């Protein structure tokens, strides 16, 4: 049961989806849609496992105070703070979730402002929704502005058509006085700005810097390890050099001046390397991988390959 | 905090974290370890929040809501705009099946019931293997074999045909190199050797492009430090 | 002298320092050179150029901050080209950390001077000229579902507005109405798009990839399964050159050149040392 049931499920699903490809009937398409939707739903829970495992590993290190345990505190703090900010800001804006603040200027439309409402008219607000918590900003001709907070979610389509006219209920204007009717306004949809600030100033620099360190190690490896010891190593080195020189614009420029009869030679050589010998070996690898994947798929479907079942099977 | 103050603070934080990571080039040190672990935590936290709003809600929560007929104000508005009425759609409750399958992943924490994890894994693996076989064969085997042979349609000694011959020879030779069911001796050994040459040329081209990739990343970070942080470059 | 060579050989931090200087100096003093265009990038450009105003192009973001140095300029160049041609631009992110980068590229291009209206705002309107689906979980499964029915599967854009109410989505049901997909990738997504997007639905696909992945795409390019390939940062500079809008990539390629020359010099130097040692060892051991 513990082995038979999973193998049976794998066999049935594998054969079903394999046959589905050849059957254009609407029921077959519906099966395809359903199975893919289910795989997406199942995938959500698999993600939870991954994060849960990370939390467990680092929590255990902190509890047992193993070597370098303070760094595990850093991991957990980073996770909790980032996720926490994301949840708070995402829940605050159910319509737009984790997107940043959007400020949309409408300088060709018109607005009619009153004490408790504002009516805005512009082609750009066709079909647009103003959410509770959004701001409508009225721009004065000589500079400056006044704002009002939208108190009830309203959409252009609420009146049965998307004509670009929206009347929103608003809280008090600044200084309590509604502005004169005019032609320049902006709609500001506040967003998950702190969450995106963390992404911009923590995630991006850390991720991009981590990989940029490899540039130094590539240069070091080029010096220490790249030796033309034999024919094969020489071919590798020569090929790499032709590609590198073919991507070096000053070299191509100087080449064109020194040898004007064949100005495109470095680019042509680079392209030839990529489009002929490289193509040959990549095609061979792709054929091998493709055939291997198909063979492995059948082994998994028919239960010959069972390593995915884990131990104790 | 105004927008420019938060941006300035952010730039300083980003610059300090960048330098912490680069300090590894001198020697492994606590600053590098701190930045490295912070990256792990922040990226995991970012993933958690994103996946909740962009995966859990649309693929788990929304179908359940539609199934039982629970509609938020926003849902009602959107349905009205679409000319639809708000009513329970019991057919959506079929989502309970993949939810149960997904929850079985957590069976590994229940003693004696760990084997239940195999069920969602088998489902997903079997389905993706079955879906993949025909399209992988078509796109990565058949079309590639076709492309290797098609240029010989116009064999007239032109450069195109010569390159096509080289590609075909190289493909067969490289495939021979990876064919381990036969000992690489004699004619097979010679072809396999030629295959190795093509592989080396290909790996060399990959290295050449990889250098470009890594160095561009470094250039971007240096530009950030010199432009946004130290203001030594015009924006 | 031998002590110096010995130091260089054993302490790689000297090489790190040389690389750092070789990057910092050209960044401070940029000297742009013409960027010749490769066949692969030209193919991508020609494919886009062959589309008609009103055609829909789907841009798929499958990269993250660790590849943005090369891929982000590609995205902006292709987007600019698409908007110039009056194409309807649809964007989707296959990975969570790609979503803000894609949105940033959209904002930069849409708000640029080239598309400014007389009143000062952009003449490109979200919902009418372009739409952003945001990040969606699913990778290859997502591609399979999009190919069946986009509005039914995605339902709302990143602002929460229903897709079927947006002018830009008029008549778009699935990949049959998408003239071209351009995938900007740092991982396996070109394979997913070719195998599932093109293999199942026949949609035309082009890719912009990082340098690491360039050489792997040539089988697809050669067989016609890819309609174009923008390779790495230099590919981005080539595309900028083709659309006459030199920008970030063109600037960076000038600095890249010096590091390339340094790497070549390091390889030659290392091999000269190696052969000298080999010869010295052979002469010192006559037997």
Instruction: Determine, for residues C23 and B218 on separate chains, whether the beta-carbon distance falls below 8 Å.
Output: yes
In the stretch 87-126 of chain B, residues with CB closer than 8 A to chain A read 94-95, 97-99, 101-103, 105-106, 114-115, 117-126
Instruction: Determine, for residues A127 and C161 on separate chains, whether the beta-carbon distance falls below 8 Å.
Output: yes
pLDDT tens track for C164-206: 888 899 999 999 999 999 999 999 999 999 999 999 999 999 9
Q: Are the CB atoms for B209 and C212 separated by under 8 Å?
A: yes
Domain count along chain B:
2
Boundary of a domain, candidates B88, B104, B129: B88
**Does B173 reside within a domain?**
yes
Measured distance CA(A222)–CA(A304) in Å, rounded: 44
Instruction: Determine, for residues C162 and B78 on separate chains, whether the beta-carbon distance falls below 8 Å.
Output: yes
pLDDT tens track for C209-243: 999 999 999 999 999 999 999 999 999 999 999 99
Instruction: Determine, for residues B45 and A86 on separate chains, whether the beta-carbon distance falls below 8 Å.
Output: yes
Q: What is the mean pLDDT of residues B95-110?
A: 91
Over pLDDT 90: what percentage of chain B?
Answer: 63
Instruction: Give yes or no for residue A312 having a pLDDT over 60.
Output: no
Instruction: Give yes or no for residue B2 having a pLDDT over 70.
Output: no
The residue of A20, A36, A255 whose CB has the most chain C CBs within 10 angstroms, and thus the best one to mutate to test that interface, is A36
Choose the weakest-confidence range: B140-154, B165-179, B192-206: B140-154
Choose the weakest-confidence range: A174-178, A190-194, B228-232: A174-178
The ipTM (two decimal places) reads 0.91
B78–chain C Cβ distance below 8 A for any pair:
yes
pLDDT tens track for C108-156: 999 999 998 876 778 898 889 999 999 998 889 999 999 999 998 898 8
In the stretch 143-162 of chain B, residues with CB closer than 8 A to chain C read 143-144, 146-147
Q: What is the mean pLDDT of chain C?
A: 92
Instruction: Determine, for residues A219 and C214 on separate chains, whether the beta-carbon distance falls below 8 Å.
Output: no
The CA-based dihedral angle spanning residues C202, B150, A286, B173, taken in that order and rounded to the nearest 10 degrees: 180
Q: List the domain range (segments joined by +) for residue B210.
A: 155-235
Q: Are the CB atoms for A195 and A84 separated by under 8 Å?
A: no
B181 falls in which pLDDT band (50, 70, 90)?
Answer: confident
Residue B217 has its nearest CB partner, among C69, C155, C199, at C69
Instruction: Give yes or no for residue C207 having a pLDDT over 80.
Output: yes
Measured distance CA(A51)–CA(A34) in Å, rounded: 27
Higher pLDDT, B90 or A286: A286
User: Which of these, B144, A245, B18, B229, lies nearest to C194 by C-alpha position?
Assistant: B144
Q: Which tokens go with B2? A: 């105004």
Q: Which tokens go with C10? A: 């054993």
B159 falls in which pLDDT band (50, 70, 90)?
Answer: low
| Secondary structure E strands in A174-255 | 185-189
pLDDT at A313: 41
The residue of C94, C155, C161, C259 whose CB has the most chain B CBs within 10 angstroms, and thus the best one to mutate to test that interface, is C259
- Spelled out in words, what is the top-level CATH class assigned to the domain C39-246? alpha beta
Q: Which residue of C has its CA nearest to B146?
A: C223
Instruction: Determine, for residues B135 and C160 on separate chains, whether the beta-carbon distance falls below 8 Å.
Output: no
**Does B14 reside within a domain?**
yes
Query: What is the Cβ-side half-sphere exposure of residue A260, based on CA atoms within 13 angstroms?
Result: 1
Residues of B in contact with C222 (CB under 8 A): 147, 167
User: Which of these, C119, C126, C127, lies nearest to A107 by C-alpha position?
Assistant: C119
Over pLDDT 70: what percentage of chain A?
Answer: 99
Size of interface A-C (CB pairs under 8 A): 185
Instruction: Give yes or no for residue A22 having a pLDDT over 80.
Output: yes
Measured distance CA(A307)–CA(A299) in Å, rounded: 11
B1 in the same domain as B84: yes
pLDDT at B50: 93
Q: What is the mean pLDDT of residues A201-224?
A: 93
Q: What is the mean pLDDT of residues B127-145?
A: 94
Residue B101 has its nearest CB partner, among A42, A71, A77, at A42
Instruction: Give yes or no for residue C287 having a pLDDT over 60.
Output: no
Measured distance CA(A186)–CA(B81) in Å, rounded: 24
pLDDT at A249: 92
B144–chain A Cβ distance below 8 A for any pair:
yes
Q: What is the mean pLDDT of residues A144-161?
A: 85
Instruction: Determine, for residues A223 and C254 on separate chains, whether the beta-carbon distance falls below 8 Å.
Output: no
Higher pLDDT, B85 or B36: B36
Q: What is the mean pLDDT of residues B93-109?
A: 91
Q: What is the mean pLDDT of residues B145-152?
A: 87
Q: What is the mean pLDDT of residues B109-118?
A: 87
pTM: predicted TM-score of the whole model, two decimal places:
0.92
Domain-wise residue ranges, chain C: 2-30+253-283, 39-246
pLDDT at B89: 79
Over pLDDT 70: what percentage of chain B?
Answer: 94
Q: Are the CB atoms for B176 and C182 separated by under 8 Å?
A: no
Q: What is the mean pLDDT of chain A?
A: 90
pLDDT at C3: 66
Instruction: Give yes or no for residue B158 having a pLDDT over 70.
Output: no
Domain-wise residue ranges, chain A: 4-92, 102-190, 220-301
Q: Are the CB atoms for A50 and B105 separated by under 8 Å?
A: no
pLDDT tens track for A249-270: 999 999 999 999 988 899 999 9
pLDDT tens track for A30-80: 999 999 999 999 999 988 888 999 999 999 999 999 888 999 999 999 999
Three-state SS string over B130-162 comes to HHHHHHHHHHHHHHHHHHHHHHHHHCCCCHHHH
Instruction: Give yes or no for residue A112 having a pLDDT over 80.
Output: yes
C214–chain A Cβ distance below 8 A for any pair:
yes
Instruction: Determine, for residues A95 and C159 on separate chains, whether the beta-carbon distance falls below 8 Å.
Output: yes
DSSP string, C31-59: -----PPPHHHHHHHHHHHTSPTT-EEEE
Instruction: Determine, for residues A162 and C218 on separate chains, whether the beta-carbon distance falls below 8 Å.
Output: no
CATH architecture of the domain with range A102-190: Beta Barrel (2.40)
pLDDT tens track for C32-67: 888 999 999 999 999 999 999 999 999 999 999 999
Q: Which residue of B has its CA nearest to A45?
A: B102
Residues of A in contact with C23 (CB under 8 A): 215
Question: Residue B8: exposed, middle, or buried by beta-carbon count in 10 A (0-12, 13-18, 19+)?
Answer: middle
The residue of A23, A125, A133, A212 whose CB has the most chain B CBs within 10 angstroms, and thus the best one to mutate to test that interface, is A212
Q: What is the mean pLDDT of residues A215-242?
A: 91
């Amino acid at each position: 049961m513990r082995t038979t049931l999973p193998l049976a499920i794998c066999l049935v699903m594998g054969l079903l989806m394999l046959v589905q490809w050849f059957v254009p009937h609407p029921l077959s398409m519906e099966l395809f849609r359903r199975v893919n939707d289910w795989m997406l739903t199942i995938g959500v829970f698999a993600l939870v496992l991954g994060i849960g495992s990370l939390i467990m590993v680092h929590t255990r290190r902190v509890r047992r105070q193993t070597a370098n345990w303070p760094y595990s505190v850093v991991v957990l703090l980073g996770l909790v703070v980032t996720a926490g900010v994301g949840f708070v800001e995402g829940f605050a804006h159910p319509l737009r979730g984790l997107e940043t603040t959007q400020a949309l200027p409408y300088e060709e439309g018109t607005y009619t402002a009153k004490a408790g409402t504002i009516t805005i008219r512009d082609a750009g607000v066709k079909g647009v929704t103003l959410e509770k918590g959004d701001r409508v900003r009225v721009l004065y001709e000589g500079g400056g502005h006044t704002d009002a907070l939208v108190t009830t979610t309203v959409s252009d389509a609420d009146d049965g058509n998307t004509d670009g006219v929206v009347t929103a209920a608003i809280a008090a204007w600044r200084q309590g006085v509604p502005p004169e009717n005019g032609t320049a306004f902006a709609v500001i949809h506040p967003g998950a700005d702190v969450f995106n600030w963390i992404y911009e100033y923590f995630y991006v620099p850390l991720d991009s810097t981590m990989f940029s360190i490899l540039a130094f190690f590539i240069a070091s490896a080029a010096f220490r390890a790249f030796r033309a010891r034999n024919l094969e190593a020489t071919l590798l080195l020569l090929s790499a050099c032709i590609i590198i020189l073919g991507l070096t614009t000053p070299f191509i420029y100087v080449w064109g001046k020194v040898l004007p009869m064949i100005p495109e030679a470095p680019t042509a050589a680079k392209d030839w390397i990529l489009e002929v010998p490289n193509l040959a070996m990549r095609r061979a690898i792709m054929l091998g991988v493709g055939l291997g994947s198909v063979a492995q798929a059948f082994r998994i479907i028919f239960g010959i390959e069972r390593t995915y079942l884990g131990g104790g099977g | 905090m105004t927008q420019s103050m938060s941006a300035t603070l952010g730039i300083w934080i980003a610059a300090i974290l960048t330098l912490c990571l680069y300090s590894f080039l001198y020697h492994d040190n606590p600053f590098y370890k701190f930045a490295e672990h912070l990256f792990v935590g922040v990226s995991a936290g970012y993933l958690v929040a994103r996946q909740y709003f962009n995966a859990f809600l649309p693929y788990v929560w929304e179908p359940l809501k539609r199934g039982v007929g629970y509609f938020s104000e926003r849902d009602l508005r959107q349905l009205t705009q679409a000319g639809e009425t708000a009513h329970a759609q019991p057919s959506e409750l079929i989502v309970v099946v993949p939810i149960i399958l997904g929850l079985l992943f957590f069976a590994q924490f229940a003693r004696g019931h760990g084997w239940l994890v195999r069920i969602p894994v088998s489902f997903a693996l079997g389905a993706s293997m079955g879906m993949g076989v025909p399209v992988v064969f078509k796109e990565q085997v058949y079309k590639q074999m076709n492309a290797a042979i098609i240029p010989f349609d116009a064999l007239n000694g032109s450069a195109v045909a010569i390159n096509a011959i080289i590609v075909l020879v190289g493909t067969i030779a490289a495939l021979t190199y990876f064919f381990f069911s036969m000992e690489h001796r004699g004619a097979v050994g010679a072809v396999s050797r030629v295959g190795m040459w093509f592989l080396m040329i290909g790996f060399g081209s990959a290295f050449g492009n990889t250098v470009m990739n890594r160095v561009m990343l470094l250039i971007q970070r240096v530009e950030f430090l010199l432009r946004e942080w130290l203001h030594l470059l015009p924006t | 002298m031998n002590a110096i060579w010995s130091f260089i050989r054993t302490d790689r931090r000297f090489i790190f320092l040389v690389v750092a200087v070789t990057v910092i100096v050209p960044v401070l003093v940029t000297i742009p050179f013409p960027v010749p265009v490769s066949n692969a990038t030209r193919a991508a450009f020609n494919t886009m150029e062959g589309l008609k105003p009103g055609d829909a192009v789907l841009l798929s973001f499958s990269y993250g901050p660790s590849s943005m140095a090369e891929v982000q300029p590609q995205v902006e160049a292709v987007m600019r080209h698409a908007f110039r041609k009056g194409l309807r631009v649809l964007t989707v992110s296959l990975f969570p950390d790609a979503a803000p980068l894609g949105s940033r590229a959209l904002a930069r291009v849409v708000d640029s001077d080239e598309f400014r209206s007389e009143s000062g705002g952009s003449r490109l309107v979200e919902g009418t000229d372009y739409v952003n689906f945001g990040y969606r979980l699913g990778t290859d499964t997502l591609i399979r579902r999009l190919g069946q029915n986009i509005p039914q599967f995605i339902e709302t854009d990143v602002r929460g507005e229903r897709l079927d109410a947006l002018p830009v989505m008029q008549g778009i049901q699935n990949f049959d109405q998408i003239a071209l997909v351009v995938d900007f990738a740092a991982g396996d997504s070109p394979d997913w798009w070719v195998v599932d997007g093109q293999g199942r639905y026949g949609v035309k696909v082009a890719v912009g990839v990082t340098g690491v992945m360039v050489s792997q795409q040539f089988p697809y390019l050669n067989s016609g399964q890819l309609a174009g390939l923008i390779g790495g940062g230099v590919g981005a500079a080539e595309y900028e050159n083709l659309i006459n809008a030199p920008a970030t990539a063109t600037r960076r390629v000038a600095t890249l050149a010096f590091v390339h020359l340094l790497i070549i010099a390091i390889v030659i130097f290392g091999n000269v040392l190696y052969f000298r040692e080999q010869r010295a060892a052979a002469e010192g051991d006559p037997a």
